[in-house]
A and B are shown apart, each in its own frame.
Chain A
Amino acid sequence: MQEINISDKNFEQCQKCSLCETVCPVMANNPAYAGPKRSGPDSERYRLKNGIFFEDSLKYCMNGKRCEVACPSGVKIADLIQQARIKFSTASPKLRDAMLASTDLMGPLASGFAPIVNISLGLAPVKGVLDATIGLDHRRTLPKYSSRTFTSWFRKHAAALQDSFPRHISYYHGCYANYNYPQLAKDFTAVMNAFGYGVHLIEGERCCGVAKIANGMTEAAVRDAKANINAFRKATATGRDIVTVSTTCTMTLLEEYPELLKVDNSDVKSRIKLFEPFVFEAISSGIVKPVWKEGFKAKVAYHSPCHQERLGWGIFTIELLKMIPGLELIELGSNCCGMAGTYGFKKENFKVSQKIGEPLFNEIRSVAPDYVACECETCKWQIEMSAGVSVKNPVSILAEALDLEKTSELNRA
């Protein structure tokens, strides 16, 4: 008569074992945070009774979801916390948070003035002013903006060629690859083209909204989510899968939309695919054939970002990288870098953010790789700044390791 217990976000399944607390990177470093069990399932029971039990300290949750990975009971702990923030937080986002969160608004603005913005963001006095006025930590190396967005490059140089390929995908590039680091998107296009896939932009693509969720701009995030899902419906109707490169965007599109924003993605969910599993499956099922460069050599340390841990697809990245001859792969321990999107940018979080990342930085230094492989852009900022080792997305590693011309020839048919 009784079904297997399924409460919203499985919070009733919590056994109070507290294993989640042992993996929470914030709890270990910030005494003001009560931890995942307290902030999530424990308090949820009381919040159901009375909203007064909402605690302001929930804002310290980085939403890395390591607690969910650790939970032996399948409780969506971080979702519970984020959901409570959405429902109860009355704090309106500060100017800084709104700026950090509106990656799609700031992107086009900054890209237009990229040289000026980049220089001024790098100058000590400007950083001092940003620190004092809006609370962006002055010690932080700020991400640069590209003077030309990926999409404008793509339309001019690549779009026309795409129809000639035998297979096709829609590419969700996200804000970072478009505004900050178009090279990643260009690498993506090159690799996919070499594998015989035509790359197509998604008409009406918007920011995934993750930073808006984190900064309390839920309504704006819902608008983004609805627009994206509509755009995906049109794109998938042409028979193309949607391929993504950022683990955080991907997790947001797949999980946060239905769980937190209550935006239904069920009809397109199975069509949204992260680059690494997509390519791994294509290669291992023989749909595409890679030709690797002769003499490629690199010592690479793989850092699995928190949201990749949550998605559980790190195994594909590892298997994919292991296919590359000459690539020595070291898997780093499972540790958070401390950045967590916009979290580490904030003055009040800077110290905690660095402390959280320390075990990872130390491990990277001791391994001393040529570079770190990682699917997440904000991990990249943090690791490059704090461990002093460059970080490459596996997309870019493939672009380097593949003999693109020979691969193209082999996969044209």
Chain B
Amino acid sequence: MANREFDVIIIGGGITGAGTARDCALRGLKTLLVERDDIASGATGRNHGLLHSGARYAVKDAESARECISENKILRKIAANCVEDTGGLFITLPEDEDSGYGLDYQKTFVEACLDAGIQARIISPEEALRMEPSVNPRLIGAVAVPDGSVDPFRLCSANVVDARMHGAEVLTYTFLDSFIIENGAVTGVRLLDRRSGVVSEYRAAVTVNAAGIWGQAVAAKAGISIGMYPAKGALLVFGHRVNNVVINRCRKSADGDILVPGDSVCVIGTTSTKIPFEECDDMRVTPGEVRLLLREGCSLCPSLSSTRILRAYAGVRPLVASDSDPTGRSISRGIVCLDHESRDGVKGLVTITGGKLMTYRLMAEKATDAVCRKLGLDRPCETAVTPLPGSGDGRIEAVSRRFSGKPTAGQKAAAGRHGDLTGRIRFDSPDDGALVCECENVTLAEIRYAVKELGVTNLEDLRRRTRVGMGTCQGSFCIRKAAAALAEALGDPSLADKLAAEYLEERWKGMVPAGWGDTLREMEFMQRVYKTGKPYSYDD
């Protein structure tokens, strides 16, 4: 039986939990990371993937802006393979003059950016169009900022891999059943293995609640109340990269005002709607949200109106009510780190929440500092300077040079995803190079690697690590192949049909809100491939 004594247990395998696990492990703590689903399956994997420069917050929230630009610079260094230096634009359109966000506001905006240490530069509309030809040509002003894109799946995965490499244990598909509370202190957890149904006890001096919006429910299990408000943010994924530079609107933050190029697609978002807690586990994007995002997206980049929407999805921001305001009206968007001993008299429990993808590392640092304090340890944080696995020289060019002969599309794509860890993907046997997902260039070898080293158990897990089925066909063409390959790599070929069926349900859910035009055609094709068992026949 495995040792179930740890220094720290972290609940939640999103980016905050993964980052905290890594930080704890790097500081030499015996760490357990627990996730009820797969890593990055909550809000972490359901956002823009924007590497904020902080410019968006500069005018209203200087502190967030400073945190962003500082973390932006750190992530470029420690997570080179997860980050793409696209640059960003904040554009002003003629109609913004009418709403009070014209070129005068642009001045205020740039000053606030510079105050926060963000290199913002006013450029002419012509230069903006040269930098990003897809930007709305009606623009009357533009500011260039150091925005970028970041792949949240990879970033989360890299943190988990590094935590593991430093001795942490990771349990996915494991649910927090209850806390073990002794003498008013949390001394461990009872965890339910969702696959076997077995509940086991694990002990640690400190437990960190990093469960995002689900953190309210986690805290409640220790009898603690945290006022959280789930804010749903909907996004649309387009079929290809329409833009190569992040495009923002230079005005007060509003719905659908950021278009981010990420990997082979681009994403417009987001909205912000308070939703009841019951909806957090099954969010559907409404036709109203789709229309709104499309309308706003088209004013950033008119060609979106003639680009296929692959799917729609939504994440939940964990907004936390400020403790000093019991009405819950004043909501903090910053990082919230609660030591429940001082706050609620419950020892051994820390909640880390609020914040955003961009500041996950800083959140992890604060949480780990709190853990160390509680353990009476004084160990410095190293996560700001220690590169994540894969980050060495993560450029596709550099990594793909290491393959013998000319790298194939599959190898180049893998290099883009796994950075300098790509060498661990073995292209030895003749079928290793065979493409499984043709839209996203995923090979058998990459699938085998993901199963062996990245803890993949189903197609959703595989998708988050490799992009399998995320392309144009959303799996219509390849999922049967991918399911067979995955089932084989998992050692049970009979799983294939079940894996494919589960995955298609998830894909379908995202396609329904965008179900018209070419997406509807694809949906008919998908139905046909899977319901008649044969996509087509070649008689002649």
A45 to B306, Cβ gap below 8 A? no
Cβ of A397 to closest chain B Cβ, rounded Å: 29
Using a CB-CB cutoff of 8 Å, which residues 5-62 of chain A contact chain B? Answer: 5-7, 11-19, 22, 34, 37-38, 41-46, 48-50, 52-53, 55-56
User: What B residues does A52 contact at CB under 8 A?
Assistant: 396-397, 400, 412
Given A15-B521, A45-B472, A56-B406: A1 in contact with B438 (beta carbons within 8 A): no
CA distance A179 to B532 in the complex (A): 57
B239 to A12, Cβ gap below 8 A? yes
User: What A residues does B518 contact at CB under 8 A?
Assistant: 5, 12-13, 15, 73
B240 to A15, Cβ gap below 8 A? no
B294 to A2, Cβ gap below 8 A? yes
CA distance A50 to B535 in the complex (A): 32
Q: Choose among B241, B525, B538 the residue with the greatest number of A CB atoms under 10 Å from its CB.
A: B241
B240 to A48, Cβ gap below 8 A? yes
Among B298, B305, B538, point to the contact of A22 (Cβ < 8 A). B538
User: What B residues does A2 contact at CB under 8 A?
Assistant: 294, 305-306, 309, 516-517
Instruction: Encode contact with A along B433-472: 1 for CB under 8 Å, 0 otherwise.
Output: 0010011010000000000000000000000000000011
CB of A3 within 8 A of chain B? Answer: yes
B439 to A45, Cβ gap below 8 A? yes
CB of A4 within 8 A of chain B? Answer: yes
User: What B residues does A42 contact at CB under 8 A?
Assistant: 438-439, 441, 472
Interface residues on chain B, number (Cβ under 8 Å)? 42
User: What B residues does A12 contact at CB under 8 A?
Assistant: 239-240, 307-308, 472, 518
Cβ of B134 to closest chain A Cβ, rounded Å: 11
Cβ of B409 to closest chain A Cβ, rounded Å: 6
Given A15-B476, A46-B441: A53 in contact with B409 (beta carbons within 8 A): yes
A14 to B472, Cβ gap below 8 A? yes
Told that A42-B438, A45-B471 touch, could you supply 20 new A-B pairs with CB distance under 8 A?
A: A1-B298, A1-B305, A2-B294, A2-B305, A4-B306, A5-B307, A5-B308, A15-B518, A19-B536, A34-B409, A37-B438, A38-B409, A38-B435, A42-B439, A45-B240, A48-B264, A49-B261, A49-B264, A50-B416, A55-B409
A6 to B306, Cβ gap below 8 A? yes
Using a CB-CB cutoff of 8 Å, which residues 253-308 of chain B contact chain A? Answer: 261, 263-264, 291, 294-295, 298, 305-308
CB of B109 within 8 A of chain A? Answer: no
A1 to B308, Cβ gap below 8 A? no
CA distance A46 to B415 in the complex (A): 13
User: What B residues does A41 contact at CB under 8 A?
Assistant: 472
B291 to A4, Cβ gap below 8 A? no
A-B contact pairs, 27 of them (CB 8 A): A1-B291, A1-B294, A2-B294, A2-B309, A2-B517, A5-B307, A5-B518, A12-B240, A12-B307, A14-B472, A15-B525, A16-B476, A34-B409, A42-B438, A42-B472, A43-B409, A45-B239, A45-B240, A45-B241, A45-B264, A46-B264, A49-B241, A52-B412, A53-B409, A53-B412, A53-B413, A56-B406
User: What A residues does B264 contact at CB under 8 A?
Assistant: 45-46, 48-49
CA distance A16 to B480 in the complex (A): 14
- Name which residue of chain B comes closest to A48, CB basis: B241
Among A7, A14, A16, A19, point to the contact of B307 (Cβ < 8 A). A7
B522 to A15, Cβ gap below 8 A? yes
B412 to A49, Cβ gap below 8 A? no
User: What B residues does A46 contact at CB under 8 A?
Assistant: 264, 409, 413, 441
CB of B473 within 8 A of chain A? Answer: yes
Among A7, A44, A48, point to the contact of B306 (Cβ < 8 A). A7
Given A15-B525, A17-B536, A43-B409: A38 in contact with B240 (beta carbons within 8 A): no
Using a CB-CB cutoff of 8 Å, which residues 198-255 of chain B contact chain A? Answer: 239-241, 244
Among B263, B307, B308, point to the contact of A49 (Cβ < 8 A). B263
Cβ of B375 to closest chain A Cβ, rounded Å: 45
User: What B residues does A44 contact at CB under 8 A?
Assistant: 240
Given A1-B295, A2-B516, A5-B518: A16 in contact with B409 (beta carbons within 8 A): no
A3 to B240, Cβ gap below 8 A? no
- Name which residue of chain A comes closest to B263, CB basis: A49
Given A6-B306, A37-B438, A42-B439: A16 in contact with B473 (beta carbons within 8 A): yes
A7 to B522, Cβ gap below 8 A? no
- Name which residue of chain B comes closest to A11, CB basis: B240
Cβ of B80 to closest chain A Cβ, rounded Å: 15
User: What A residues does B294 contact at CB under 8 A?
Assistant: 1-2
CA distance A12 to B518 in the complex (A): 8
- Name which residue of chain B comes closest to A19, CB basis: B536
CA distance A379 to B305 in the complex (A): 43
CA distance A1 to B535 in the complex (A): 32
CA distance A16 to B476 in the complex (A): 8
CB of B477 within 8 A of chain A? Answer: yes
User: What B residues does A34 contact at CB under 8 A?
Assistant: 409
Using a CB-CB cutoff of 8 Å, which residues 521-540 of chain B contact chain A? Answer: 521-522, 525, 535-536, 538
CA distance A132 to B538 in the complex (A): 42
CA distance A24 to B178 in the complex (A): 61
Among A1, A16, A22, point to the contact of B472 (Cβ < 8 A). A16
User: What A residues does B441 contact at CB under 8 A?
Assistant: 42, 46
Cβ of B293 to closest chain A Cβ, rounded Å: 11
Cβ of A94 to closest chain B Cβ, rounded Å: 19
Using a CB-CB cutoff of 8 Å, which residues 328-373 of chain B contact chain A? Answer: none
CA distance A56 to B406 in the complex (A): 10
CA distance A5 to B310 in the complex (A): 12
CA distance A14 to B473 in the complex (A): 8
Cβ of B403 to closest chain A Cβ, rounded Å: 13
- Name which residue of chain B comes closest to A43, CB basis: B409
User: What A residues does B396 contact at CB under 8 A?
Assistant: 50, 52
CA distance A379 to B306 in the complex (A): 39
User: What A residues does B412 contact at CB under 8 A?
Assistant: 52-53
Cβ of B158 to closest chain A Cβ, rounded Å: 20
User: What A residues does B472 contact at CB under 8 A?
Assistant: 12, 14-16, 41-42, 45
User: What B residues does A15 contact at CB under 8 A?
Assistant: 472-473, 476, 518, 521-522, 525
A7 to B240, Cβ gap below 8 A? yes
CA distance A18 to B517 in the complex (A): 19
